[in-house]
Amino acid sequence: MIKLTINGKTIEVAEGTTVLDAAKMLNIEIPTLCHHPKLTPFGGCRLCIVEVKGVPRPLTSCTTPVSEGMEVTTSTPALEGLRKTVLELILSDHPNDCMVCEKAGDCTLQELAYFYGIRENRFGGERRIYGKKDGNPFIERDMEKCILCGRCVKVCDEVQGVGAIDFAYRGFKSKICPTFEKDLDCEFCGQCVAVCPTGALTGKMWQLRGRQKDIKEIDTTCSYCGTGCNLTLHVRQNEVVRVTSKEDTWNEGWLCVKGRFGYSFINSPDRLKKPLIKRNGKFEEASWNEALDYISAKLREIKEKHGPDSIAGLSSARCTNEENYLFQKFMRTGIGTNNVDHCARL
Amino acid sequence: MKANNTVIKVCMGTGGIAAGGSEVIDAFRTELNTAGIAATVEKNCLMHKVGCRGLCAKDVLVDVIINKEKTTYQYIKPEMVSRIVKEHIIENNPVIDWAVGDDYHNFHKKQLKVVLSDCGSIDPEDIDAYINGKGYEAARKVLTTLKPEEAIEEIKASGLRGRGGAGFPTGVKWEVARKQNSKQKYIICNADEGDPGAFMDRSVIEGNPHAVIEGMIIGAYAIGSDKGYVYIRAEYPLAVERLRKALSDAKTKGFLGKDILGTKFSFDIKVKLGAGAFVCGEETALIASIEGQRGMPRAKPPFPVYSGLWGQPTVINNVETFANVPYIIRNGAKWFSSFGTEKSKGTKVFALTGKIKNSGLIEVPMGIPLREIIYDIGGGIEGGKLLKAVQTGGPSGGCIPADMLDTPVDFESLAKAGSIVGSGGMVVLDEDNCMVNMAQYFLQFTQMESCGKCVPCRIGTKRLLEILDRITKGKGKEGDIELLEKLSADIKAASLCGLGQTAPNPILSTIKYFRNEYEAHLKGKCPAAVCKELLTYYILEEFCKGCGACLRACPSKAITGEKKKLHKIDPAVCIKCGACFDVCKFKAVKKE
Ligand SMILES: Cc1cc2nc3c(=O)[nH]c(=O)nc-3n(C[C@H](O)[C@H](O)[C@H](O)COP(=O)(O)O)c2cc1C
Ligand code: SF4
Ligand code: SF4
């Protein structure tokens, strides 16, 4: 264990802990933009700088491991001045159209600008302009809002193992883009959208459907597969307008394209909400009782006429373990056959 | 003619080749052939190429040495060769009017050559030439008679400090690496050399690649590494070619590979080409680049000696640092530390350029006063102009004003004066240079080369550049100088790597010494008459002869006037290209 003090408070933490994490344990807040607890440290935004006694220049707390006897100060007039400069510089190259931005109310940059009271900006000048829109079907890439924190690049590489995007160019012209600046063509898991601290990456389906205000968040489980990721449905006026997942869930907030973007069926007019029974070559709506009775009568009839082994059951990877267990139980004891299988075996 | 004592050396550094070195060599072959002494040429008359000797402006430089009597010729073209062969080589009458003059000798007089001692005299593509001059003796001595710790002690005792910019003691770096308990360690030679105007490392590799390789072998043995890399920019094709040849020759001779010189020590070197990004010279970015990632620096600690390439302890040294090592081992730490100052030992190679008579590559003892470099070696300012300042350290450095010309050139003194030794760029500026414009030039470079990772550097340098742009265009606002100072200080404090941390230096040091020039720009005047937007061109009545030369030269038809009568420039039409200024023989066109 390593003992250090942060703002005069002493704490003991495991070797290898970063100063930022140690501060968190002490409930000391240090502003960050590029840092993400699940990704390797980047050290690019420079907001999390702290002073360490005996070190001439400020160090980024997200990249600096603790050392024995370290004396850290997280806030001084000099540090706050540097943070303010950094924020003003970022905002000097930002559209600042929070008024119409999808991310307003849920944006780390907006939040920091608020806390640092940045009304006037000492710096103005050229802003990056992107004429071309990415034509992919899922992810809105409004790169003028990108602050180059690198989180999307890291999540794509370190978590998803895809590497669809990276930094390109140098200097003020640096940008994040897919190979040769083509349209994004990847798995569309949307992890990049999930980690983006600004409005640079959002879901195309979310546009103009409602920001964080007046959203009801409903936690549920994804029904696409047996993995059962935790979802948070963002509901506005009884309509799901966005799906996210929280970091403290067992799936750590990560989702796939289906869980994140595959929710439009919910309000689709084609969606089956009631059972249908085919009568005289035509599907007719029926009640659940009616449908279940119909099925059980038919199954019984087949079983009596041809024996239980003339019936087979195929279940689905979309079901949970428990549901699959119940299904085989039903086939074995209810029907009396071992003819039971599962689509994931194929 | 007694051909057996004749040696012809043709400068074939990049400068020599550009001036026609290959053609000159061909011409010598043909002429010797025609003269009927070809048969003896190969056997008795040695002709070979040599690397750069510093004064590239006088290329092609050719030495003809007969019975140890050396005559050096300058500005040699292929058509001049026949006379040299006939009169000098055959008749033993040197062609005096083509020989170099006093300026060539003065250029070398105050120099002290350690790293460059063999550059320009031996054939860089011939390993035997290096070996005959005691090459690889240092490696033999270290590998067969010294313990690694003893080799490190010797380097520590010499006081050698890194020549890549920061001046970190080399022996200390090696010692830390030695102590790391790791199976795999790496040693890397940093030959990225991205500063504009710098060509020291290129010249060393082109002129004497084996010294660098020998230095790396000794370093590798000292720290316990069996794998080395030379990270060299692809824009240095000749250096890469000579380095590759030297590596393969060294391997053939058993200086690289398995069980070197019959010892249990094995070591090999790979060449890794850089794509030409300035930031890739920064050690952590360089490591990322070798690993196949984008060359972006990462935060230190951990320093590469603890965790570098592929997470293993790694020593990175500059080309010149490594090239010093064999000479230190050969001649002893005492010898090396007898040159230089108390804290800056040995010599430093500089690329001397700008408004100076003899521009080129020089090597001087640390601590030499700047004045001696400018006036004794460099021959003073061109065209009898007034010296204004000397810019050192390239885009990370600053300038030393003319009234501080007695500043000794060493790590401490230059830092005290607000500049740095850096990698060794030295640009001489005269009264015609605008200091704001100069700062703008360097900022343009650093902004373009910023890796984009961190905010203060990526956006901050852009804003600095924009402020400088508007100042040089006469659109500066009150408070701009103070804003430059404040933003510069913040960028220095908050940037991740050395690039951002030093990028504002050219601004800060020019404001420090030439604040009046900034203020003049804010008032709409460029004192050096450089910034185009602030200039007006007009014709002086008393000098104008009405010859019409300016009128014909003006591309925008801004000049009117009849023959033999006073001409006039219409400022509304003038695009300030300066064509009239250049063409007027009577100095009648003025700009201010
Ligand atoms: C932006 C930047 C560019 C650099 N470029 C070079 C370079 O071209 N060559 C070099 O040797 N060192 C360069 N350095 C310094 C290296 O990071 C490193 O300190 C050096 O190679 C160590 O070698 P030394 O101890 O022998 O000087 C650069 C540093 C920075 C911050
Ligand atoms: S798109 Fe978002 S996550 Fe990616 S670098 Fe830009 S701001 Fe960061
Ligand atoms: S200081 Fe500049 S070059 Fe260095 S990491 Fe930051 S952006 Fe990249």
**In this predicted model, what pLDDT tens digit does every residue of A273-307 receive, in sequence order?**
999 999 999 999 999 999 999 999 999 999 999 99
Q: Considering the domain boundaries, does residue B181 fall inside one?
A: yes
Condensed to tens digits (0 to 9), the pLDDT of residues A165-195 reads: 999 999 999 999 999 999 999 999 999 999 9
Q: Considering the domain boundaries, does residue B355 fall inside one?
A: yes
Say whether both B497 and B540 belong to one domain.
no
Q: What local confidence, expressed as pLDDT, does residue B3 receive?
A: 45
Ligand 2 mutation target, pool A140, A152, A202, most atoms within 8 A of CB: A152
Question: From the CA of A166, how far away is ligand 2's center (Å)?
Answer: 10
Structure tokens at B580: 């009239």
Give the mean pLDDT of A73-97: 97
Question: From the CA of B86, how far away is ligand 3's center (Å)?
Answer: 59
Q: What local confidence, expressed as pLDDT, does residue A320 receive?
A: 81
How many domains would you assign to chain B? Answer: 5
- Do the Cβ atoms of B391 and B427 come closer than 8 Å? yes
Q: Which of B517, B355, B503 is nearest to B437 (CA)?
A: B517
CATH number at residue B423: 3.10.20.600
Say whether both B383 and B327 belong to one domain.
no
Residue B6 pLDDT class (50, 70, 90 cuts): confident
Q: Considering the domain boundaries, does residue B125 fall inside one?
A: no
Condensed to tens digits (0 to 9), the pLDDT of residues B365-379 reads: 999 999 999 999 999
List, in sequence order, every residue forming a beta bridge with A218; answer none if it has no partner: A233
Say whether both B306 and B405 belong to one domain.
no
To the nearest whole percent, how much of chain B has pLDDT over 90? 81
Say whether both B392 and B449 belong to one domain.
no
Say whether both B276 and B309 belong to one domain.
yes
Question: Is pLDDT at A29 greater than 60 in this prediction?
Answer: yes
State whether residue A242 is helix, strand or coil: strand
The interface predicted TM-score (ipTM) is 0.90
Query: Which amino acid residue places its CA nearest to atom 1 of ligand 3?
Result: B500
Q: Which of B463, B495, B502 to mutate to test the interface with A (most CBs of A within 10 A)?
A: B463
Give the mean pLDDT of B121-145: 95
Domain boundary among B465, B495, B522: B522
Residue B344 pLDDT class (50, 70, 90 cuts): very high
Task: Tally the residues of chain B.
Answer: 592
Does A315 lie at the interface with B, CB-CB under 8 angstroms? Answer: no
Condensed to tens digits (0 to 9), the pLDDT of residues B294-316 reads: 999 999 989 999 999 999 999 99
- Chain A residues in contact with B459 by the CB 8 A cut-off are 89-90, 92-93, 123, 172
Angstrom distance (rounded) from CA A183 to CA A225: 29
Question: From the CA of A196, how far away is ligand 2's center (Å)?
Answer: 5
Query: Which amino acid residue places its CA nearest to atom 2 of ligand 2?
Result: A196
The domain ranges of chain A are 2-75, 214-267, 272-306, 311-346
Q: Is the CB of A45 under 6 A from ligand 2?
A: no
Q: Is the CB of A33 under 6 A from ligand 2?
A: no
DSSP A49-62: EEEETT-SS-EETT
Cite the beta strand spans of A42-182 per DSSP E: 49-52, 59-60, 71-73, 139-141, 165-168, 175-178
CATH 3.40.50.620 assigned to A2-75:
no
Q: Considering the domain boundaries, does residue B585 fall inside one?
A: yes
- CB A170 to CB B490 under 8 A? no
Structure tokens at A121: 């900006």
Residue A164 pLDDT class (50, 70, 90 cuts): very high
Residue B39 pLDDT class (50, 70, 90 cuts): very low
Q: What local confidence, expressed as pLDDT, does residue B1 receive?
A: 43
Residue A317 pLDDT class (50, 70, 90 cuts): confident
- Do the Cβ atoms of B195 and B505 come closer than 8 Å? no
CA angle B186, B189, B194 (to 5 degrees): 135
CA nearest A91 in B: which residue? B459
Rounded-to-5 percentages of helix, strand, coil across chain A: 30, 20, 50
Q: Is the CB of B496 under 6 A from ligand 3?
A: yes
Q: Which of B198, B234, B202 is nearest to B442 (CA)?
A: B198
- Chain A residues in contact with B448 by the CB 8 A cut-off are 170-171
Give the mean pLDDT of B45-55: 83
Does A92 lie at the interface with B, CB-CB under 8 angstroms? Answer: yes
Nearest ligand to the C-alpha atom of residue B298 = 3
To the nearest whole percent, how much of chain B has pLDDT over 70? 98
Structure tokens at B505: 């230096």
Condensed to tens digits (0 to 9), the pLDDT of residues B263-287 reads: 999 999 999 999 989 999 999 999 9
- Which residues 135-174 of A are in CB contact (within 8 Å) with B? 147-148, 150, 166-167, 169-174
Say whether both B152 and B277 belong to one domain.
yes
Question: Is pLDDT at A14 greater than 90 in this prediction?
Answer: yes
Say whether both B94 and B7 belong to one domain.
yes
Where in the sequence is the domain holding B332, given as residue range(s)? 134-337
- CB A174 to CB B458 under 8 A? yes
Domain boundary among B406, B430, B454: B430
Q: What local confidence, expressed as pLDDT, does residue B42 receive?
A: 53
Query: Which amino acid residue places its CA nearest to atom 12 of ligand 1?
Result: B164
- CB B299 to CB A60 under 8 A? yes
Question: From the CA of B455, how far away is ligand 3's center (Å)?
Answer: 8
Query: Which amino acid residue places its CA nearest to atom 8 of ligand 3?
Result: B451
Q: Is the CB of B297 under 6 A from ligand 3?
A: yes
Question: How far apart are the CA of B317 and the nearest CA of chain A, in angstroms?
Answer: 24
Angstrom distance (rounded) from CA A135 to CA A139: 9
Q: What local confidence, expressed as pLDDT, does residue B557 receive?
A: 93
Q: Is the CB of B164 under 6 A from ligand 1?
A: yes
Residue A71 pLDDT class (50, 70, 90 cuts): very high
Residue B2 pLDDT class (50, 70, 90 cuts): very low
Provide the mean pLDDT of chain B. Answer: 93
Say whether both B306 and B383 belong to one domain.
no
- Do the Cβ atoms of B377 and B351 come closer than 8 Å? no
CA nearest A66 in B: which residue? B301
- CB A85 to CB B448 under 8 A? no
Q: What local confidence, expressed as pLDDT, does residue A251 receive?
A: 95
- Do the Cβ atoms of B155 and B222 come closer than 8 Å? yes
- What is the interface size between A and B, counted as CB pairs within 8 Å? 104
Question: From the CA of A21, how far away is ligand 2's center (Å)?
Answer: 22
**CA distances, B560 to each of B548, B555, B589 (Å):** 9, 12, 13
- Kindly report the backbone phi and psi dihedral angles of residue A176, in degrees, each rounded to the nearest multiple of 5, phi listed first: -100, 130
Positive or negative, the CA dihedral B559, B561, B566, B568 is: negative
Question: How far apart are the CA of B456 and the nearest CA of chain A, in angstroms?
Answer: 6
Say whether both B186 and B292 belong to one domain.
yes
Positive or negative, the CA dihedral B3, B4, B7, B8 is: positive
Q: Considering the domain boundaries, does residue B113 fall inside one?
A: no
- CB A172 to CB B460 under 8 A? no
Question: Is pLDDT at A197 greater than 90 in this prediction?
Answer: yes
Q: Is the CB of A148 under 6 A from ligand 2?
A: yes
- CB B496 to CB A169 under 8 A? no
Instruction: Return the H-helix or E-strand segment holding A248.
Output: none
Question: Is pLDDT at B458 greater than 80 in this prediction?
Answer: yes
Ligand 1 mutation target, pool B175, B283, B319, B505, most atoms within 8 A of CB: B283
Condensed to tens digits (0 to 9), the pLDDT of residues B546-590 reads: 999 999 999 999 999 999 999 999 999 999 999 999 999 999 999
Say whether both B512 and B544 belong to one domain.
no
Q: What local confidence, expressed as pLDDT, does residue B329 receive?
A: 97
Give the mean pLDDT of B219-238: 97
Residue B38 pLDDT class (50, 70, 90 cuts): low
CA nearest B467 in A: which residue? A125
- Do the Cβ atoms of B219 and B187 come closer than 8 Å? yes
Nearest ligand to the C-alpha atom of residue B274 = 1
- CB A170 to CB B277 under 8 A? yes
Question: Is pLDDT at B350 greater than 80 in this prediction?
Answer: yes
- Chain B residues in contact with A166 by the CB 8 A cut-off are 294
Question: How far apart are the CA of B487 and the nearest CA of chain A, in angstroms?
Answer: 8
- CB A170 to CB B452 under 8 A? yes
Q: Which of B34, B224, B46, B31 is nearest to B142 (CA)?
A: B224
Domain boundary among B306, B337, B368: B337
Q: Considering the domain boundaries, does residue B117 fall inside one?
A: no
Residue B162 pLDDT class (50, 70, 90 cuts): very high
Longest dimension (CA), chain B: 88
Question: From the CA of B189, how far away is ligand 3's center (Å)?
Answer: 22
- CB B462 to CB A126 under 8 A? yes
CA nearest B453 in A: which residue? A44
Q: Is the CB of A149 under 6 A from ligand 2?
A: yes
Interface of B with A (CB under 8 A): 277, 279, 294, 296, 298-299, 301, 447-456, 458-463, 466, 483, 487, 490, 493-496, 501
Say whether both B566 and B550 belong to one domain.
yes
Q: Out of A11-15, A232-236, B86-90, B585-589, which region has the weakest mean confidence (pLDDT)?
A: B86-90
CATH number at residue B584: 3.30.70.20
Longest dimension (CA), chain A: 89
Q: DSSP assignment, residue A311? A: -
- CB B454 to CB A44 under 8 A? yes
Q: What local confidence, expressed as pLDDT, does residue B4 receive?
A: 52
Say whether both B232 and B150 belong to one domain.
yes
> A214-267 has which CATH code?
2.20.25.90
Question: How far apart are the CA of A113 and the nearest CA of chain B, in angstroms?
Answer: 15
Q: How many CB atoms lie within 10 A of CB B464?
A: 25
